[in-house]
Structure 1
Amino acid sequence: MASVVEYKGPREGYRCGYCDAPEGKVSSGMWAHSMTVQDYQDLIDRGWRRSGKYVYKPVMNQTCCPQYTIRCRPLHFQPSKSHKKVLKKMFKYLSKGEFSKGNNEEEPMDSQMDDAGMHDFALKSKLDIKSDQRPLSEDCHEIKESKVKEKEDLEPKETKMLNKSHAKQEKLGSGEPSGSVKVVPSTPKPGKGADLSKPPCRKAKDIRKERKRQKLILKSQTDQVQHEEKPKLNQPKSIEDFIFDTLPDKSAHQLEVRVVRSSPPSSQFKATFQESYQVYKRYQMVIHKDPPDKPTVSQFTRFLCSSPLEAENPPNGPDCGYGSFHQQYWLDGKIIAVGVIDVLPYCVSSVYLYYDPDYAFLSLGVYSALREIAFTRELHEKTSQLSYYYMGFYIHSCPKMRYKGQYRPSDLLCPETYVWVPIEQCLPALENSKYCRFNQDTKAVDEERIKELDRLRVLYKRTIMPYNIYKKRQKGPSDEAIVQQYADLVGQTCSERMLLFRS
């Protein structure tokens, strides 16, 4: 199956929804009658994006608010403090039914790294206490004797001399020669003398050496335990740890996320169509202030249900297959939000989110983005090349659209060479100019730039042919300029694979 597209050319001078300039927006577009997931993957890697079946690309150096394609790298993603706050808020609401309708962004949130630091401190304290314990309890009496000896050493010299003189006088008075001392065996008084049931005394110096040796051994063991345990304690919690944390048996609410194919519509999608549409209608009226007659069923279908992407289910692909889906958020048996996504060979591409305004306090925009990042990681486990999360466009000139840059690590697409550049390297340039070429290599060019226009494929009068054959059969004025423009925008590979419809 080949993609069939009808190029509409540039569209200039229409109202911008970001800065409200009445005629500031400029883009090129084409109607996609059908499209393979690989072709769309290659197109969004060149700055294209779809709305229903209409695929468009901003003219970056002319439009009032340049829109840069942004992608997150979920395999290295770690939730920020504000992301954790949203995840904890959802868990608290599901488990206890508690929530705050105030300014949620001002609520304090504990840092997970601080928690890990407390665990490290607790382990260190226990090990320090253990190292201070003396394994020489059997030598307590030696320590006591040592203290007695130290006390004797500290006695004044005069006291010692006096004691010695008294001892000598006692011997002379007894009639014994002064040069001899008679030793009389006697039983020690209670509480004095060595306890023969215990090991012989050791010098205090030896005891101190033994104690030091024991400390060194214990410190070595402690360092080894800390080395083994510390990485585990310092490992920050992932989004899965928050999202799939076990709820209590009697939790206040139950949340289920269902992925249903929207094109072609699955039976589950058809069964929930009306309920999903009603959520969309309320969202448009309350959040975007649309009049009640604007969010019609046909408008909803064209915008968020119709898709040019062909469903594919290869054996080595994700379990859900490739194509367009609605990710439905069911709370206690009813839909409260829907994330519209495309599952492509290398990424999950976010298209749109709408939700019940009654549940705005749950920060469903942030929560759904984190769920889609987790979903991308889940798909990656089976399909290794599927490892990116595309968030649409990053618009630095519009402050309210900069939030996408908070999902790190992320990259922006260079609008001239179509290479990915880490967003940290792009932001300084964007502070100085709305339009920027991110690739710092001045010699680098678009590797997919059109080289052979004659190899472009055309669908003309129900016949597929290369462009050079079409030119010979074409009647009327030449359309080579518009075909050249189309080829430059889609690149050599897509121009040779997709079919450009010409009437």
Structure 2
Amino acid sequence: MPHDFSIVEYYSQQGRSRCGYCQSPNTSYSHGMTTERLTVQQYQTLIDRGWRRSGYYCYKPTMDITCCPHYTIRCSALEFKMSRSQKKILKRMIKFLNGELSVDEQKTSQNTCDHDIVRCMDVPNQLEITKEIKPSALNMEIASLSEENSSRINSAGNNPELKVSMENKECLDSKTIKEESSEIKHDLKKKSVSESGMILQKKAKLIRIERKRNKLLAQGKTEDEIKVIMLQRKNQNVGKTLEDYFNEISNCKNKLELKLVRTSPKSDDYKNTSRESFEVYKKYQSMIHEDKLSKLTYDKYSRFLVTSPLRIKLVKKMSNEMIDTLDQSAEVFKKYQMVIHRDAENECDKKSYFEFLIKSPLQDTMPENNLPQGYGSFHEQYWYNGNLIAVAVLDILPFCISSVYFFYDPAYSFLTLGTFSSLREVLLTQQLNKYQPSLKYYYMGYYIHSCPKMRYKAKIKPAKLLCPESYTWCDIDKCLPKLDVSKYSRLNEDLTVKDEDGNATADEVLILWNNKVLPFHIFKAFCADQSTEGYVDEFAKLVGKTCLKKMLYCIHSRN
């Protein structure tokens, strides 16, 4: 079987499941498929058509009928502009690492961390479907890396440019976030609220300036000296880049080290740290999301956040170093799930961690462009003075870094690690762009307008949303007014723009059946019934013409 082909098993629409966002019991609809092997090029095409993966399972919300439409969101990393609040988060990290963050400041940060939301993986019926997968039908042997590729990966781990401290994602405290009213405010009222907010911001800025001025006067400085000092500080802040902040972080007294390790196939780095990652995952899910520990198994973790069908590369997910720290990662995962998601202890065991965050269908790919570790599925680990405190699950694709999930030890919530990790991933995208010019976007998963937990994503500027009808990218500032009116909306205002790639039929699909590859028009002549043709035609339109050229639709024999 050629290695540039993907293999999938389609499940059609998975409907009437419980929504993890609005909590409605039977209102979430999506289409799904399992993927034993998936090339990075095809996964890039899929996410540009609204698909996302969770472990080996890929899903696409049925946008026009699901209760909470999911809009794919991305940021152009090369055009990224930091906001004042984002700079404050980076400065707070610097103060913490230099031992200058007071207890009161930590408490204040802890109280405001509710706005630092975590990426939520709500995959309808995914667990039940993956339990039914027949390994023999989709199982494909993954070719081992050549000695040349392995040496490139290992040497990449020593690349100082990619080892800037810190990582990505968002912290979700669903108990403290109140649902915003869905009623549309009158334009005049919205304007007055906006203006009052601007006045408060101006007042706060003037107060800060006056406070600094009084402090300098107390030191005996003259008015002229104060003006010079204030101007110098202003110029320093204006010229500071995202990379400058992270360089400063890497030179602090206490060390925050970021390690990017491959998870599929499992690199040595991952194998050495998998237990630590799982423990962090359990803490996060149980404390932040209030998941039950009994449900946080290592198998579930691995299925969702480790296994991957993608053929890719970066810092091996299951390298020796990763395996050595597996226990630490799992422990952080457990803490995160228990504190942030309120999971029970038995819900965030090592098996759950492995299934959710380690397994990946992505296939290893070494591009001919000296990209340090290639494309694929990775964990970016945050190590504070030798202790694993956070893990970001990432896919490195030809055009982007795609964020899968992020979890952290709740003890460090005051550092606003969710937003901090997003900034780190924007920087990583900028760094990898130097090796691969086409890799210039940072994908943040889905944006759900009715979910307050998602609002932080719109602040990673410039952000764009994927139109669910034309599959073109639209500026988020122009999209938000449409979503205020209707939760589902065509975002591209040009009605002449059509989804040409989705104009596909069942006859363009390649069928994998009894270890044979057949065009569907031949297969249906002696095997397919009318219902099968309907499913295959639906599949063709959802994945598009581009994917169909290198994708095999698996159908089981009825023996």
The answer to whether structure 1 residue 261 and structure 2 residue 262 are counterparts is yes
Cα deviation code 1:383-429 (max 9, x no counterpart): 10000000000011112211100100010000001000010110111
Cα distance between partner residues in 2 of 1:248 and 1:86: 17
Q: Quick one: which amino acid aligns to residue 257 of structure 1?
A: L
Question: CA shift at 1:470, angstroms?
Answer: 1.2
The equivalent residue for 2:473 is 420
Cα deviation code 1:151-201 (max 9, x no counterpart): xxxxxxxxxxxxxxxxxxxxxxxxxxxxxxxxxxxxxxxxxxxxxxxxxxx
Cα distance between partner residues in 2 of 1:355 and 1:97: 22
The answer to whether structure 1 residue 58 and structure 2 residue 61 are counterparts is yes
The equivalent residue for 1:188 is none
Question: CA shift at 1:450, angstroms?
Answer: 2.7
The answer to whether structure 1 residue 311 and structure 2 residue 316 are counterparts is no
> Alignment partner of 1:415: what SS?
coil
Contact 1:78 1:238 in 2 (8 A): no
> Which structure is larger by alpha-carbon Rg, 1 or 2?
1
> Alignment partner of 2:549: what SS?
helix
The equivalent residue for 1:339 is 392
The equivalent residue for 2:106 is 101
Cα distance between partner residues in 2 of 1:372 and 1:475: 46
| Paired residues for 1:56-455 under 5 Å | 56-99=59-102, 100-104=105-109, 235-245=238-248, 251=253, 253-275=254-276, 276-316=329-369, 318-455=371-508
Q: Quick one: which amino acid aligns to residue 240 of structure 2?
A: K
| Paired residues for 1:421-500 under 5 Å | 421-474=474-527, 478-500=531-553
> Alignment partner of 1:443: what SS?
coil
> Alignment partner of 2:69: what SS?
coil
- Identity score, percent: 45
Cα distance between partner residues in 2 of 1:382 and 1:264: 23
Cα distance between partner residues in 2 of 1:425 and 1:477: 43
Cα deviation code 1:76-113 (max 9, x no counterpart): 112111111110010000012524332327699989xx
Q: Which moved more, 1:475-484 or 1:38-47?
A: 475-484
Contact 2:250 2:257 in 1 (8 A): no
Question: CA shift at 1:29, angstroms?
Answer: 0.3
TM-score in terms of structure 1 length: 0.74
Question: CA shift at 1:301, angstroms?
Answer: 1.1
Q: Quick one: which amino acid aligns to residue 255 of structure 2?
A: Q
Classify 1:246/1:476 alpha carbon distance in 2 versus 1 (closer, same or farther; 3 Å). closer
Question: CA shift at 1:443, angstroms?
Answer: 2.0
Cα distance between partner residues in 2 of 1:263 and 1:281: 21
Unaligned segments of structure 1, at least 5 residues? 119-124, 130-225
Contact 1:95 1:248 in 2 (8 A): no
Question: CA shift at 1:473, angstroms?
Answer: 3.2
Contact 2:504 2:541 in 1 (8 A): no
Question: CA shift at 1:344, angstroms?
Answer: 0.1
**What is the aligned-residue RMSD (CA, Å)?**
2.9
Cα deviation code 1:188-241 (max 9, x no counterpart): xxxxxxxxxxxxxxxxxxxxxxxxxxxxxxxxxxxxxx9xx9x98785321111
Question: CA shift at 1:243, angstroms?
Answer: 1.3
Q: Which moved more, 1:95-104 or 1:274-283?
A: 95-104
Query: Quick one: which of 13, 18, 32 aligns to 2:16?
Result: 13
Q: Quick one: which amino acid aligns to residue 384 of structure 2?
A: L
Q: Quick one: which amino acid aligns to residue 481 of structure 1?
A: G
Contact 1:70 1:413 in 2 (8 A): yes
Query: Quick one: which of 32, 36, 39 aligns to 1:33?
Result: 36
Classify 1:496/1:315 alpha carbon distance in 2 versus 1 (closer, same or farther; 3 Å). closer
Cα distance between partner residues in 2 of 1:86 and 1:475: 58
Question: CA shift at 1:455, angstroms?
Answer: 2.3
Equivalent pairs, count: 395
Cα deviation code 1:325-381 (max 9, x no counterpart): 000000001100000000000000000001111111111111111101100000001
Cα deviation code 1:258-290 (max 9, x no counterpart): 000011010010011111111101111111111
Cα distance between partner residues in 1 of 2:64 and 2:245: 42
> Alignment partner of 1:293: what SS?
strand
Classify 1:73/1:475 alpha carbon distance in 2 versus 1 (closer, same or farther; 3 Å). closer
Question: CA shift at 1:496, angstroms?
Answer: 2.2
Q: Quick one: which amino acid aligns to residue 315 of structure 1?
A: E
> Alignment partner of 1:302: what SS?
helix
Contact 2:249 2:256 in 1 (8 A): no
Classify 1:412/1:477 alpha carbon distance in 2 versus 1 (closer, same or farther; 3 Å). closer
Q: Quick one: which amino acid aligns to residue 339 of structure 2?
A: V
Classify 1:362/1:50 alpha carbon distance in 2 versus 1 (closer, same or farther; 3 Å). same
Classify 1:98/1:325 alpha carbon distance in 2 versus 1 (closer, same or farther; 3 Å). same
TM-score in terms of structure 2 length: 0.67
Contact 2:505 2:537 in 1 (8 A): no
Q: Quick one: which amino acid aligns to residue 518 of structure 2?
A: M
Cα distance between partner residues in 2 of 1:342 and 1:247: 24
Contact 1:95 1:247 in 2 (8 A): no
Unaligned segments of structure 2, at least 5 residues? 114-200, 214-223, 277-328
Cα deviation code 1:51-80 (max 9, x no counterpart): 111000000111111110000111111211
Classify 1:77/1:411 alpha carbon distance in 2 versus 1 (closer, same or farther; 3 Å). same
Classify 1:248/1:441 alpha carbon distance in 2 versus 1 (closer, same or farther; 3 Å). closer
Question: CA shift at 1:244, angstroms?
Answer: 1.0
Contact 1:4 1:499 in 2 (8 A): yes
Q: Quick one: which amino acid aligns to residue 421 of structure 1?
A: C
